[in-house]
Structure 1
Amino acid sequence: MHSSTKCVSAIFGILIASLFSTSVFAQLSPSESAKDSLAIYDDIMLDRVTVVGKPAWMKELPGAASYIEMKDIELQEYSDINRILRRVPGIYIQEEDGYGLRPNIGLRGTGTSRSSKVTLMEDGVLIAPAPYAAPAAYYTPTAGRMSSFEVRKGSSQIKYGPNTNGGAINYRSTPIPADLSADVDLTLGETSMRKVHATIGNTHKNFGYMFETYQMASNGFKNLDGGGNTGFDTKDFLGKMMFRTNPQADVFQKVEFKVGYYDEISNETYLGLTENDFERSPYRRYAASQVDEMDADHTQFQVRHFAMFSNKLDLTTTAYYNEFNRNWYKLDNVNGVGISDLLADPEQYNSAYNIITGTTSSDNALSLKNNNRAYFSQGIQSALNYHFGVGQFESQLEIGARYHQDEMDRYQWVNGYRMQEGVMVQTSQGEPGTESNRIESANALALYIQDEISFGRWIVTPGLRFEHIEMKRENFGSNDPDRTGTDLSTNETTLDVLVPGIGINYAVSQQLNLFGGIHKGFTPPGPSADDQTDAEESINYELGGRYATEVFNLELVGFFNDYSNLLGNDLAAGGGSGTTEQFNAGEINVKGVEFSLTHNLLAENNDLDLPISISYTFTDTDFQNTFESNTWGNVEEGDELPYLPKHQLNGNIGVEKGSVTLNIDAYTTSAMRTVAGAGDIEDSKSTDSYLRFDGSATYQINDMATVFVNMRNITDATYIVSRRPAGLRPGLPQTVMGGIKIDI
């Protein structure tokens, strides 16, 4: 066990002992006033660990924000985080597998590759496998088991690091219910799709619990040469327990435990299609991908302690530990030719192309890499809040600290295969640790102070964040799989950064609020960075307004991110050569407009509801310098950033009458460049522009049971979503599924 893990365990014990010392099991029944107090305490704690909290709180935020409620997720039974987040303006998504197993998410020009430039959290805790040392998010929390999703952009910089250039996304897991509750959701569909989502929980006086499982599998929608499963099988288990004092206690305290385990087997590959093969058969999988497989598991532990010392002072502390193990076994090259180069020019590499399509080859012609990695992240974070007033001024002062450690251990090897009349036969076994054999780690201390100052119609929120980051890379080399240190090379980096910012909110009326802000953006370089590699930094500006009533919400925001240095990374997943080396991409400007609207068109009608929502994003980027890269191609001044569309539009309309609900979700996007460039986009260097519709219908049988049917991609549109990691990739085709939900 890591020494710091022992420290976290000790903290868990101290928190429990502290709670028990204040009569956690007192048997007094709470009065109505006590229930009111508990509701207030719950709201305060919610505010401390979320980035939005409640939709009603958004109007006072000093920046752009979005909140997706459970009811919005349930309408379409979405389990794909890509489809869920399409509703949020300012988010850019590059799809990859069609199911959202490995999303590529960006915010306001940060780039999308493996969501490595976005601060991803679950319940306010960093959730990427190694957020500092190796932030590429090959793991993402199961979207289908979440209760809601929150997104903060410009104003997220002070509290939510380390990546502050674009914003923060917080997945909020299912809360412990206030009363006995049991829910089961059963779904079956095409491609042998099956899903089980079940929860049970209750709160009794000073104790609460919740247990949940979300299990989903499919045989996949792609057609493997020679036949075979191209789908996935995931299992997610989560448990929570809560203890609290009586609300009348001198110091109200609450502690929550959370334990989760996720397991995945997915028959996924980096091997896409050539241009011609995509036109002929877009859902084809080449024979050389038949043994490609991701085997992954994730374990999380979390304990959170909340103490309300008075109506002015409270403290929230969270200790956490996450472990992620994965081995993505997949084709790397054919007779020494990388699969990305092969698919880009199959005529030049005709013999290699013939092999991946099933032609018999020599031994070891196919090299499959065990992309074996083990990650952990752990830490403790605390936020102290003090509320006070002086005359007409009210202040909500928050001081926060987090000590965090994370690590990625790459221990990889290569096996050889030959193709035998369309069937792969293993011909050599590599020795573990002889391909990539290194450890990258980071220790980080983050401190911040933020003050929300209210006076009259104004709310001014200045803040300052400080990060001290120590990173280390130990490369043992391919000739030392036992890690004796005979060929060890070490690189150590220390980085200190201050991230200031200020946001302002002005209430023009009870319904209309204007806001604006200026914040510094920052993303640290990884442990592999050399002395010439700088951190990613920007100055970010936004100006906007919100208009909100009970049935109508509108937000309009303009933003400008002025990057003094954009950080690039040579990742195979991003279409690069896979060296993982980072490089300075220099200055780039990112500017745009974000618009969102929700409205119930028949709010005055007691028998029929007609809710609609619209979100739109316009984005413009241009590099301010010229350079060469393996990832983005040869970049010239004035070029645009790849994998970032100029236009995105999402619309949703529902009809709700009695027991019947109908819902249509539409999404359209302009084409995205796949390499940097300017002017008209070449077809061979572009994804497709497309229009996609999803639909759902539900019928509530009684108070306990509801049946539903959903259809993804109603028109069965075929479109290119990506040309990376290697070759062309399609979006999910038309897929029908249905089931029943039982709520007790």
Structure 2
Amino acid sequence: MLTLNKKLSLAVAIQAALFGSVYALPAYSQTTDTPNVEQSASAQGTSEEQASEQATVNDAYIEKMQIVGRKQGISRESGSATLIDELELEKFKFDDINRILYQMPGVNIREEDGYGLRPNIGFRGATPERSKKINIMEDGVLIGPAPYSAASAYYFPMMSKMTSIEVFKGPAGIKYGPNTVAGSLNMVTRAVPQVSEGMIDVAVGTDGYQKAHGHYGNTIDNFGFLVEAAHVRADGFKQLDNGGDTGFEKSDVMAKLRYDLAGKRFDQVFELKLAYANETSNETYLGLTDADFNANPNRRYVASSLDKMDWTHSQFQLSHFISGDDFEVITRAYRHNFDRSWFKINGFKGGAPVVTRSLQEILANPDADEVNQSYYQILTGRQDSVAEYEKLILGDNDRSYYSQGIQSDLSFDLDWFDIKHNVDLGVRFHQDQIERNHTTDSFVMQSAKLVSDGNPTQAATTDREKTSAVSIYAKDTMTFGDLDVTAGIRGEFIESEYQNRAPGKEGDYLDKSTRIWLPSLSLYYALNDNAGLLFGVHEGFLPTSPKQDPSIETESSINYEFGGRFNNGDVSVELVGFFNDISNLKEGCQFSSCGSDDDTEFNGGEVDILGLELTSSYTLALTDDIDVPVSLSYTHTQSEFKTSFDSGFDMWGSVTAGDKLPYLPENQASLGLGLQAQSWDVNLVVRYVGEMLEASGEGVVLSGVKTKALTTLDMSASYDFDTFGKVYLKADNVLDNQEIVSRRPYGARPSKPQQFQLGYQYQF
């Protein structure tokens, strides 16, 4: 195994070979509008020429933070790409990433808490559990707590500070890894402004909702800065049987410092980003029986009254961007720390004379026998714990993560043998780690309250997983008239290790290596200036975690897509069909899916996923002053296991060839409709999600069980008083439709009920 120093030396050597002596550290950001150069020059005392140079280099730098880029004309990019820009995000001011992504095709989601605190997101049929199969990035940098060692994303950035959301699927995603099966989600934070500007946004709403958000920034000569802070809280929409708290509060503070340097030969930007965030949420994994859900979907049993998540997250990112006449290089260094403690109910102690039963088994069939009936009565506080096996076990999943690295990306154009080439090269050295210090405590139910039984805290899982990885990619887009041919390849070279740190188990150690090259090929043919066809094929890959036995194979697939685009300025349409030929499907158990603490992974063999994605938009000029924007996204997906097998994975069980994947609706759609004038607007979005299987095969608790289809209507309206600010009203789930969105890990979980917000926004 390579030592850390050797790996760093290798990464630096590769960077030097690709980019010469230029390598420094990371960055991000975006703004929707190009700064006014004349205003900038006047306000800052610089010449118009200097301001223009600064604006140009800053715009180029901002573009490098994005995957999709801005919506300008028809894209010749290979691969399916969807962008929600700042103007779209401002319409509904969603705090929940799920509600934002429902507007995009090819996204499958398993909701959990109603607020999007810990999302479960997948693309094109990839299992959504804790978003572990997609690359989650902020400003082009991996933002998950430990993307290689523990891919499950228990941290997610606050949406209030994002100015665009990008989803990229298909062969062009070979630039982004390590997960290449499904695609990438990139969230772009606010850019340092070219002129003095700021904003204050405050809102209140039902269920004790409160929001305070503000930012201010400026550029003086070559130096720019931005400070942004947001705080969101709510009392929660669920009602504990004993009247406890089910709400949350989270805060995020971010600062950016930027220095622009426009030279005769090169233009450069240096930027430092620092951020700190925290959350306290009284969330639980404990759901309801179906009968209790039908009576009151927002009820919570008293057994979950002590459940609470606390986490803190810090970011350090430093970037350097340099551009010349025919090249651009951006280099980023980053360090993220994430510490969390989730104290929650795990289940009953069990043991003789009663066979231990999971909470899922109890809530799925509370009347199965006297034991289940007794357990159910204890969970609801109607019966006290008496026997030893009736004690409740609560666990504190205390974990510490870090993720750090340095990455460089080079782009340049050249003409070679009379062929135009657009070349992208990149290299990243990355390290991440998770340390688990899990403990358990035993409680008894007494008079509808959880009371400690007095026994000392017991150690549960005490281990460490660590990964060092070097990633390389190369992509060349060759233009032959109306045809673009893009060939790409990605290399992932992963060294990982697992160490059991429990006393007496230090010999439980595992290290392993993964080496893989992932090719891609895509074509784009321009039919005319407004329309084109695209085709792509690429190899998909998902690594295994460090602690998994080498007999658990990595997930691998060959993914195809074919489609077309049309955009004439008024009408925009993209229709893409995709086929994922998965040779080995890999899944794993976490508390969020199985109620298990062991993070065991399973192989599922061959699976086919076939689908169709539609994105379209049109703006009708109703009058000279009023526009009617209309948008539609639709996804149809089918899946099928190709072989029969028996699995210990709770979402599979005994699978028969032809069975479908869980939590993958066949049909999803989102229809947006608005009325927009210069000073006011009203917007509606109707969302439909079809029914979903809770488990694929037979022989597991939720075999044959489905979630029902759900239709939701969201609304927003605003009036701009010009210099006096803007007032807005928004309503989530106007029709107050609630259904079971999942029965994992323990019982039925509801979608968010009807909620209203009233806010005021002032820009200066």
Residue aligned with 2:75, SS: helix
Structure 1 residues 56 and 368, CA gap change in structure 2 (3 angstroms): same
Q: Determine the C-alpha separation between the residues in 1 that align with 2:367 and 2:438.
A: 31
Distance apart, 1:683 and its partner CA = 10
Gaps in structure 1 of 5+ consecutive residues: 17-26
Per the alignment, residue 361 of structure 1 pairs with 385
Equivalent residue letter for 2:720: Q
Distance apart, 1:505 and its partner CA = 1.2
The answer on whether the counterparts of 2:23 and 2:331 sit within 8 Å (CA) in structure 1 is no
Per the alignment, residue 100 of structure 2 pairs with 84
Equivalent residue letter for 1:357: T
Per the alignment, residue 605 of structure 2 pairs with 586
Residue aligned with 1:74, SS: helix
Gaps in structure 2 of 5+ consecutive residues: 16-21, 26-42, 351-356
Which one of 167, 190, 214 corresponds to residue 183 of structure 2? 167
Structure 1 residues 428 and 58, CA gap change in structure 2 (3 angstroms): farther
Structure 1 residues 622 and 543, CA gap change in structure 2 (3 angstroms): same
Residue aligned with 2:590, SS: coil
Per the alignment, residue 323 of structure 1 pairs with 337
The answer on whether the counterparts of 2:242 and 2:302 sit within 8 Å (CA) in structure 1 is yes
Equivalent residue letter for 1:204: I
Distance apart, 1:486 and its partner CA = 5.3
Per the alignment, residue 367 of structure 2 pairs with 347
Matches within 5 A, 1:23-102: 31-56=47-72, 59-102=75-118
Structure 1 residues 57 and 529, CA gap change in structure 2 (3 angstroms): farther
Q: Determine the C-alpha separation between the residues in 1 that align with 2:310 and 2:575.
A: 43
Q: Does 1:569 align with 2:569?
A: no
Equivalent residue letter for 2:629: P
Residue aligned with 2:61, SS: helix
Q: Determine the C-alpha separation between the residues in 2 that align with 1:339 and 1:405.
A: 36
TM-score in terms of structure 2 length: 0.90
Structure 1 residues 486 and 711, CA gap change in structure 2 (3 angstroms): closer
Distance apart, 1:32 and its partner CA = 4.2
Distance apart, 1:396 and its partner CA = 1.6
Q: Determine the C-alpha separation between the residues in 1 that align with 2:440 and 2:482.
A: 64
Equivalent residue letter for 1:592: G
The answer on whether the counterparts of 1:592 and 1:617 sit within 8 Å (CA) in structure 2 is yes
Matches within 5 A, 1:466-485: 466-477=491-502, 480=503
Per the alignment, residue 456 of structure 1 pairs with 481
The answer on whether the counterparts of 1:577 and 1:631 sit within 8 Å (CA) in structure 2 is no
Per the alignment, residue 540 of structure 2 pairs with 521
The answer on whether the counterparts of 1:224 and 1:290 sit within 8 Å (CA) in structure 2 is yes
Structure 1 residues 40 and 457, CA gap change in structure 2 (3 angstroms): farther
The answer on whether the counterparts of 1:629 and 1:635 sit within 8 Å (CA) in structure 2 is no
Structure 1 residues 15 and 577, CA gap change in structure 2 (3 angstroms): closer
Matches within 5 A, 1:676-691: 676-677=696-697, 685-691=705-711
Q: Does 1:740 align with 2:760?
A: yes
Equivalent residue letter for 1:304: S
The answer on whether the counterparts of 1:157 and 1:499 sit within 8 Å (CA) in structure 2 is no
Equivalent residue letter for 1:608: I
Equivalent residue letter for 2:335: Y
Distance apart, 1:575 and its partner CA = 2.8
Q: Residues 130-183 of structure 1, C-alpha deviation per residue, up to 9 Å, x if partnerless?
A: 000000000011112100001110034320000000100100011111111110
Distance apart, 1:228 and its partner CA = 1.5
Q: Does 1:595 align with 2:614?
A: yes
Equivalent residue letter for 1:283: N
Identity of aligned residues (%): 36
Residue aligned with 1:495, SS: strand
Q: Determine the C-alpha separation between the residues in 2 that align with 1:732 and 1:316.
A: 41
The answer on whether the counterparts of 2:695 and 2:703 sit within 8 Å (CA) in structure 1 is no
The answer on whether the counterparts of 2:65 and 2:188 sit within 8 Å (CA) in structure 1 is no
Q: Determine the C-alpha separation between the residues in 2 that align with 1:731 and 1:188.
A: 21
Q: Residues 49-97 of structure 1, C-alpha deviation per residue, up to 9 Å, x if partnerless?
A: 3211112276111111000011111111211000001111000011100
Per the alignment, residue 23 of structure 1 pairs with none
Distance apart, 1:487 and its partner CA = 4.0
Equivalent residue letter for 2:618: H
Q: Determine the C-alpha separation between the residues in 2 that align with 1:429 and 1:163.
A: 44
Matches within 5 A, 1:6-405: 15=24, 31-56=47-72, 59-245=75-261, 247-308=262-323, 310-336=324-350, 337-348=357-368, 349-358=372-381, 359-362=383-386, 365-390=391-416, 392-405=418-431
Aligned length: 719
Matches within 5 A, 1:614-629: 614-627=632-645, 628-629=647-648
Q: Residues 374-416 of structure 1, C-alpha deviation per residue, up to 9 Å, x if partnerless?
A: 1100000001222212465221212110000000100111011
Structure 1 residues 50 and 531, CA gap change in structure 2 (3 angstroms): same
Equivalent residue letter for 1:191: D
After superposing the two structures, state which structure 1 stretch, 344-353 or 690-699, moved more: 344-353
The answer on whether the counterparts of 1:576 and 1:631 sit within 8 Å (CA) in structure 2 is no
Distance apart, 1:545 and its partner CA = 0.9
Q: Determine the C-alpha separation between the residues in 2 that align with 1:634 and 1:296.
A: 38
Equivalent residue letter for 2:626: L
Residue aligned with 1:499, SS: strand
How well do the aligned residues superpose, as a CA RMSD in angstroms?
A: 2.4
Equivalent residue letter for 2:329: L
Q: Determine the C-alpha separation between the residues in 2 that align with 1:41 and 1:60.
A: 23
Equivalent residue letter for 1:173: T
Residue aligned with 2:723, SS: coil
Per the alignment, residue 440 of structure 1 pairs with 465
Which one of 694, 717, 725 corresponds to residue 674 of structure 1? 694
TM-score in terms of structure 1 length: 0.93
The answer on whether the counterparts of 2:471 and 2:490 sit within 8 Å (CA) in structure 1 is yes
Structure 1 residues 172 and 67, CA gap change in structure 2 (3 angstroms): same
Q: Residues 705-725 of structure 1, C-alpha deviation per residue, up to 9 Å, x if partnerless?
A: 000111111111121111112
Q: Residues 560-582 of structure 1, C-alpha deviation per residue, up to 9 Å, x if partnerless?
A: 00000110112221135443111
